């Protein structure tokens, strides 16, 4: 139970789609309550990396050592699929870029938030509903909308609902793939603010994929820069963004407006 | 092949229509189903001389288990003489030549759609259900690969999502037919579109219960004395339909599943047993309800 041990230790993670490189020889550590941003251009392997980390795809080689709540450390790919799926709906969350992929659009907002509670065995309707109401408030959704379909929600609301749905079982680690991707700027800002607040409140560890350095700057403690499937630079976010060493990172940094700096 | 051709003089078809190899294949699926209560076993469903939706799954199961000495009863919504029940009975009359009965107690095999008889079944009886949609998870998760995984890993949170939605929108669990059950604490199963009133009869029954879905090519089973529990919430427990203060107009029965019958244009109505054999049996034994001629006679 040593909190100074990393929560996740990634070693030599490589994934090929057939002959096609997804990511190669990725290694890093993630500590508890730490937010890690993964940045890089389109096709650089960010989503591939995230999907490997969250066991949604099995990497060609490499390890992801994960420290469980009881302190023991295990390679995720030595676990059975059943165990991986339990992790995914208890210890972890996964927020997708497109909320329609991460929500059940056919059921109410309340059922979306309550699903994980039910999947871990909660069988008290009143308690489930109370928790769902609570979480709607926390993600700034009007609780009177609890029985409405997410189809009637705006993109920003859907994304906040997706976050609530993932956080309701108090996960330790949440993966986010471009969570602000499809939203306009003002909606993005509100969502980022919310994520920042919740992450701080809950002491969550986050791996967030973004191609927006402003998002990385605002949310993350550390940053990984990827190119052609490999990590080309990593370190504390402020250091990397203020003093990038790699020419590619320099190019990235210089090409964006310094929002929120 | 149509029913006309199979009713020709010298039968070219096998006993109970299916060839022996097909029957063996279906029996293997049935045995596997019995070995894994509530698990949906895929099988190579055959064309039957009736359209899907007419109980071709149940018919194949019946055809695979029936022998010359069996006595068959076929019911549809509790009645032995709807078109569907008559057609299936005729089919087995012609292809197997077995004895038929309306009497639940006399039958060794009962093929049913939408009901379980009121009379308690025995260990020497088999109940065969006709199943339109065997997958209880389908309405929320249409991907077959995913639902299979959910069954394999006993991941059934979704079933409660459906019940949650019911309560959120109706204030109570509004599902009244095909009410999902948990079998031996392992597999969630669709009991076919029987009313939830019949769900408790699935539990701990001495009779073997077999389920056949023709179009969907699935067979599943509840061996005798299987634990079957209807899903619910602690604060919204499962309950069956009830008709307080209602008696069958014909036989005076209470606590059974009722059909409502409209008597005239004035909207007058009466309730009668949905299980017609049960009702008749009671009348023969001298039980009469308010609308029964003998009762009216007595009241004069
Ligand atoms: N399912 C797949 N089959 C084959 N190749 C794939 C597949 N998914 C991704 N790739 C390839 O792997 C590489 C990395 O893709 P990935 O989706 O991880 O990039 P990304 O950094 O997430 O890009 P984006 O910013 O566009 O989302 C790319 O060359 C991509 O074409
Ligand atoms: Mg991507
Ligand atoms: Zn009656």
Per-residue pLDDT reduced to its tens digit, A119-162 = 999 999 999 999 999 999 999 999 999 999 999 999 999 999 99
Structure tokens at A195: 């994520």
Tell me the C-alpha distance between B178 and B181, whole Å: 9
pLDDT surpassing 70 at residue B198: yes
Q: What confidence score (pLDDT) does residue B11 get? A: 57
- Of A242-251, B160-169, B218-227, B246-255, the one with minimum mean pLDDT is A242-251
Given this model, what pLDDT does residue B99 score? 97
Q: Give B155's pLDDT tier (boundaries 50, 70, 90).
A: very high
**Residue A107 to chain B, least CA–CA distance (Å):** 7
pLDDT of residue B12: 66
What is the band of A3 on the pLDDT scale with cuts at 50, 70, 90? Answer: low
Question: What share of chain B in percent tops pLDDT 90?
Answer: 87
B53 is catalytic: no
Say if residues B15 and B96 touch (Cβ distance below 8 Å). yes
Q: Does B155 touch chain A (CB under 8 A)?
A: yes
| Percent of chain A topping pLDDT 70 | 97
Cα(B60)–Cα(B266) distance, integer angstroms: 45
pLDDT tens sequence across A226-250: 999 999 999 999 999 999 999 999 9
Q: Coil, helix or strand for B108?
A: coil
Residues of B with Cβ-Cβ distance to A81 under 8 angstroms: 149, 153
ipTM: 0.90
Closest-CA distance, A4 to chain B, in angstroms, reads 34
pTM over 0.80: yes
Q: How many alpha carbons lie under 13 Å from residue A124 in its C-beta half-sphere?
A: 4
**Average pLDDT in the A54-73 region?**
96
Mean pLDDT of A114-120: 95
CA distance, residue A17 to nearest chain B CA (Å): 21
- Between residues 75 and 134 of chain A, which touch chain B (CB distance below 8 Å)? 81-82, 85, 89, 104, 106-108, 110-111, 114-116, 118-120, 123-126, 128-129
The structural domains of chain A, ordered by start, are 1-89+190-204+214-261 (3.40.50.300), 92-170 (no CATH)
Residues A29 and B261: their CA atoms lie apart, in Å, by: 72
User: Is residue A15 in contact with ligand 1, taking CB distance under 6 Å?
Assistant: no
> How far does the centroid of ligand 1 lie from the alpha carbon of residue A97, in Å?
14
> Chain-wide mean pLDDT for chain A?
93
Task: Find all residues with CB under 8 Å of B186, minimum gap 6, and list them.
Answer: B37, B38, B154
Tokens representing B258 are 């009722």
Which position has the higher pLDDT, A129 or A200? A129
Ligand 1 touching residue A156 (CB < 6 A): no
- Closest residue (by CA) to atom 11 of ligand 1? A22
Ligand 1 centroid, distance to A229 Cα (angstroms)? 9
C-alpha angle A169-A171-A174 in degrees, rounded to nearest 5:
130
Strands A92-95, A173-177: pairing kind: parallel
Category of B117 on φ-ψ map: left (φ > 0), alpha (ψ -120 to 50) or beta: beta
pLDDT at B187 over 80: yes
Q: Within 10 Å of residue B272's Cβ, how many Cβ atoms?
A: 21
Is B55 tagged catalytic? no
Q: Does pLDDT of A259 surpass 50?
A: no
Q: Tell me the C-alpha to C-alpha distance, in Å, between residue A22 and each of A10, A59, A207, A214, A248.
A: 16, 9, 18, 25, 19
- What is the average per-residue pLDDT within B147-153? 95
Distance CA A113, CA B161 (A): 10
Asked if B103 and B42 count as a contact pair (C-beta separation under 8 A), the reply is: no
Q: What residues have CB less than 8 Å from B171, skipping those under 6 apart?
A: none
Dist. CA B108–CA B123, nearest whole Å: 10
For the segment B177-202, the average pLDDT, to the nearest whole number, is 97
* Residue B5 reports pLDDT greater than 90: no
Q: Which of these is catalytic: B38, B58, B212, B289?
A: B38
Q: Rounded to a whole number, what is the distance in Å from the CA of B267 to chain A's nearest CA?
A: 37
Q: Which two tokens stand for residue A77?
A: 């790919």
> Does position B44 have pLDDT exceeding 60, yes or no?
yes
Q: List all residues 6 or more positions away from B9 whose beta carbon is below 8 Å from its beta carbon.
A: none
pLDDT at B132 over 90: yes
From start to end of chain B, where are the E strands? 41-42, 71-76, 99-100, 109-113, 126-130, 181-183, 187-189, 208-213, 218-222, 228-230, 258-262, 269-273
CB-based contact A128 B164, cutoff 8 Å: yes
Least confident of A180-184, B31-35, B77-81, B221-225: A180-184
The answer to which of A37-41, A136-140, B6-10 has the lowest mean pLDDT is B6-10
Instruction: Check pocket membership of A14 for ligand 1, CB cut-off 6 A.
Output: no
The residue among A257 and A113 whose pLDDT is bigger is A113
Ligand nearest to the CA of residue B283, numbered in listed order: 3
pLDDT score at A2 = 55
Are the beta carbons of A165 and A124 closer than 8 angstroms?
no
The residue written with tokens 């045995």 in the block is B31
The protein residue whose alpha carbon is closest to atom 18 in ligand 1 is A45
In this prediction, residue A258 carries a pLDDT of: 47
State if residue A22 touches ligand 1 by the CB under 6 angstroms criterion.
yes
d(CA B272, CA B287): 13
- Give distance in angstroms: CA of A173 to centre of ligand 1: 23
Non-local CB neighbours of B155 within 8 Å, separated by 6+ positions: A85, A119, B149
Active-site residue flag, B251: yes
**For residues B186 and B228, is the Cβ–Cβ distance under 8 A?**
no
CB of A20 less than 8 A from some CB of B: no
CA distances (Å), origin A46, targets A42, B182, B222? 8, 41, 48
Chain A interface disruption, residue of B143, B160, B163, most A CBs within 10 A: B160
Residue of the CA atom closest to atom 5 of ligand 1: A17
Once rounded to an integer, what is the mean pLDDT over residues B247-256? 96
Share of residues in chain A with pLDDT > 90 (%): 88
- Measured in Å, residue A8 CA sits from the centre of ligand 2 at 21
Residue whose C-alpha is closest to residue B233's, from B154, B180, B168, B163:
B163
| Segment B117-126 mean pLDDT | 98
Summarize the confidence of residues B132-156 as an average pLDDT. Answer: 94
* pLDDT value at A257 more than 80: no
Helix spans in chain B (H)? 3-6, 20-35, 56-65, 83-96, 144-152, 157-170, 199-202, 276-284, 293-299
Q: What are phi and psi of A229, to 5 degrees?
A: 85, -5
- Is residue B273 flagged as an active site residue? yes
| Predicted pLDDT of residue B10 | 52
Instruction: Please compute the mean of the pLDDT values over residues B284-293 and round it to a whole number.
Output: 93
Average pLDDT, chain B: 93
């Amino acid at each position: 139970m040593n909190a100074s041990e990393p929560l996740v230790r990634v070693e030599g993670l490589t994934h090929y789609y057939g002959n096609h490189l997804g990511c190669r020889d990725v290694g890093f550590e993630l500590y508890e309550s730490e937010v890690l941003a993964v940045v890089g251009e389109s096709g650089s392997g960010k989503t591939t990396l995230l999907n490997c980390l969250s066991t949604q795809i099995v990497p060609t080689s490499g390890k992801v050592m994960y420290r469980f709540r009881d302190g023991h450390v295990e390679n995720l790919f030595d676990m059975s699929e059943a165990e991986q799926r339990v992790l995914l709906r208890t210890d972890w969350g996964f927020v997708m870029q497109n909320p329609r992929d991460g929500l059940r659009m056919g059921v109410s907002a309340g059922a979306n938030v309550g699903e994980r509670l039910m999947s871990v065995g909660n069988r008290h309707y009143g308690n489930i509903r109370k928790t769902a109401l609570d979480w709607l408030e926390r993600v700034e959704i009007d609780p009177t909308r609890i029985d409405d379909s997410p189809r009637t929600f705006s993109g920003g609301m859907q994304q906040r609902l997706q976050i609530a749905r993932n956080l309701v079982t108090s996960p330790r680690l949440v993966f986010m793939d471009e969570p602000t991707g499809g939203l306009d700027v003002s909606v993005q800002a509100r969502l980022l603010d919310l994520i920042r607040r919740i992450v701080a409140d809950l002491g969550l560890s986050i791996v967030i994929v973004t191609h927006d350095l402003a998002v990385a700057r605002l949310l993350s403690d550390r940053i990984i820069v990827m190119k052609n499937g490999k990590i080309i630079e990593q370190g504390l976010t402020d250091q990397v963004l203020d003093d990038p060493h790699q020419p590619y990172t320099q190019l990235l940094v210089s090409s964006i407006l310094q929002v929120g700096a | 092949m149509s029913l006309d051709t199979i009713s020709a003089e010298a039968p070219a078809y096998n006993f109970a229509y299916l060839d022996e190899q097909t029957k063996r294949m279906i029996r293997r699926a049935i045995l596997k189903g019995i070995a894994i209560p509530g698990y949906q076993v895929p099988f190579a469903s055959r064309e039957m001389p009736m359209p899907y939706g007419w109980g071709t799954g149940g018919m194949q199961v019946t055809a695979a288990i029936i022998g010359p000495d069996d006595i068959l009863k076929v019911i549809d919504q509790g009645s032995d003489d709807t078109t569907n029940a008559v057609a299936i009975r005729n089919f087995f009359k012609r292809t197997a030549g077995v004895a038929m009965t309306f009497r639940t107690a006399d039958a060794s095999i009962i093929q049913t759609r939408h009901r379980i008889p009121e009379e308690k079944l025995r260990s020497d009886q088999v109940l065969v259900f006709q199943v339109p949609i065997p997958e209880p998870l389908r309405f929320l998760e249409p991907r077959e690969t995913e639902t299979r995984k959910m069954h394999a890993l006993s991941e059934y949170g979704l079933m409660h999502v459906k019940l949650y939605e019911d309560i959120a929108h109706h204030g109570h669990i509004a599902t009244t037919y095909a009410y999902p059950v948990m079998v031996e604490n392992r597999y969630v199963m669709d009991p076919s579109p029987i009313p939830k009133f019949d769900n408790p009869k699935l539990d701990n029954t001495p009779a073997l219960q077999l389920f056949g879905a023709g179009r969907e090519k699935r067979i599943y089973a509840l061996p005798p004395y299987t634990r079957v529990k209807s899903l619910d919430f602690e604060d919204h427990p499962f309950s069956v339909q009830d008709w307080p203060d209602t008696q069958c107009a014909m036989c005076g029965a209470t606590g059974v599943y009722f059909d409502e019958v409209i008597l005239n244009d004035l909207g007058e109505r009466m309730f009668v047993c949905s299980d017609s054999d049960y009702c008749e049996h009671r009348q023969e034994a001298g039980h009469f309800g308010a609308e029964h001629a003998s009762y009216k006679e007595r009241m004069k």
